[in-house]
Amino acid sequence: MAELPTFATPATFMGIARTDRAAKFCIAGMPLDLGTTNRAGARSGPPAIRAASRMLVDGQHPRSWVDPAALDIADIGDFSIALGDIEKSLARIEQQAAGLAHLIGLGGEHGITLPLLRALKKRLGAPVGLVQFDSHLDTWEVNFGQQFAHGSVFYHALNEGLVDPHRMIQVGIRSPVHREVWDWTVAQGVTILTGEDVQLLGPIDVAGRIRETLGLGPAYLSFDIDALDPSCAPGTGTPEIGGLLSWQAQAIVRRLNGIEFVGMDVVEVAPAYDVAEITALAAATMVWEYLSLVGDEPMR
């Protein structure tokens, strides 16, 4: 065991020392929150998630026995954004994501997923599969008057052919919703598991449904922290009660082996509403679970 106490961990994700873009796995902050529609502050997510990750530094994952910090991994800092301009920010994020082997994005709002998927499409030349943990569909065509806000991400991702709708599953959905948006989403071929579905099925069956939906081929994991119940993740902008417990999210992700993941993000952590760092810790731990999962898989 290291002698460095956790409270003196350097302020990168898990205290990772490398900062170059050549690592197999790159972690980057994306402090964009211009498109949020209720409580503000996801811009402050990246440093909070990094700080909370100090709890995960010392040791291996007790199931996969992978130590994420020991992988070929770098924390490349925060992406530059265009303050006050959503579309320009999305363009910059896409540009900075280009050329990275396997990127894990720390949001910021859910809007950051769109340029990350655009960059993947350019690199892979084909749509990816997608598992989206979320309490909201995020397939609104217009989001309170905005075109590229956090509630429209997957409308665009589907329309732009970035995601294969038949390999797309949404897990934890439970917000009020317009029926036409729901119907449109289903009509594209997307699978929806509501928050109640997750509870009644249990995590093992949910993981089975995800593996089944994503099947073969490259896939992406987008984790909106509001998929979790507000008791587990109060620090977010658009909370909805009745969500996943953190053990359930962990139990599901741990069982997604065999999927060819090519990227991941965790979004919508708003630290101003957090309590004792529990939301940031949940976000950091989901990244840790993901890295423990993909850490011993062959890279695409």
Q: Does 125 help bind a copy of itself (rule: CB under 8 A)?
A: no
Q: Which is nearer to a copy of itself, 196 or 212 (CB)?
A: 196
Interacting span for a copy of itself (CB under 8 A) from 93-101, 112-120, 161-169, 190-198: 190-198
Residues 23-42 that bind a copy of itself (CB under 8 A): 29, 31, 33-35, 37-42
Taking the C-alpha atoms of 213, 215, 218 and 221 in order, what is their torsion angle to the nearest 10 degrees?
A: 40
Contacts for 282 with CB less than 8 Å, ≥ 6 apart? 225, 228, 232, 233, 246, 249
Residue whose token pair is 């598992």 = 131
What is each CA distance from 182 to 151, 159, 228, in whole angstroms?
13, 15, 20
Contact 27, 106 (CB under 8 A): yes
Burial category of 221 from C-beta neighbours within 10 Å (exposed 0-12, middle 13-18, buried 19 and up): buried
Among 272, 296, 297, 300, binds a copy of itself (CB under 8 A): 272
Among 124, 201, 242, 260, binds a copy of itself (CB under 8 A): 242
Q: Does 60 help bind a copy of itself (rule: CB under 8 A)?
A: yes
Q: In a 3-state reduction of DSSP, which class is residue 75?
A: strand
Q: Does 2 help bind a copy of itself (rule: CB under 8 A)?
A: yes
Q: Does 177 help bind a copy of itself (rule: CB under 8 A)?
A: yes
Q: Which is nearer to a copy of itself, 107 or 129 (CB)?
A: 107
Q: Does 256 help bind a copy of itself (rule: CB under 8 A)?
A: no
Q: Does 70 help bind a copy of itself (rule: CB under 8 A)?
A: no
Q: Does 17 help bind a copy of itself (rule: CB under 8 A)?
A: no
Name the minimum Å distance from CB 234 to a copy of itself. 4
Name the minimum Å distance from CB 230 to a copy of itself. 4
Interacting span for a copy of itself (CB under 8 A) from 93-101, 119-127, 174-182, 208-216: 174-182
Q: Which is nearer to a copy of itself, 113 or 246 (CB)?
A: 246
Q: Say how far apart CA 108 and CA 42 lie, in whole Å.
A: 5
Q: Does 148 help bind a copy of itself (rule: CB under 8 A)?
A: yes
Q: Does 86 help bind a copy of itself (rule: CB under 8 A)?
A: yes
Q: Does 140 help bind a copy of itself (rule: CB under 8 A)?
A: yes
Name the minimum Å distance from CB 237 to a copy of itself. 9
Number of Cβ atoms within 10 Å of the Cβ of 85: 12
Q: Say how far apart CA 291 and CA 293 lie, in whole Å.
A: 5
Among 80, 187, 297, 299, binds a copy of itself (CB under 8 A): 80
Looking from the CA of 217 toward its CB, the CA atoms found within 13 Å total: 19
Q: Kindly report the CA angle at 290 between 289 and 292, in degrees rounded to 5? A: 65
Q: Say how far apart CA 42 and CA 27 lie, in whole Å.
A: 17
Residue whose token pair is 């962990």 = 250
Q: Does 57 help bind a copy of itself (rule: CB under 8 A)?
A: yes
Name the minimum Å distance from CB 197 to a copy of itself. 11
Name the minimum Å distance from CB 287 to a copy of itself. 12
Name the minimum Å distance from CB 215 to a copy of itself. 26
For residue 239, the surrounding DSSP H or E stretch is none
Q: Say how far apart CA 102 and CA 66 lie, in whole Å.
A: 17
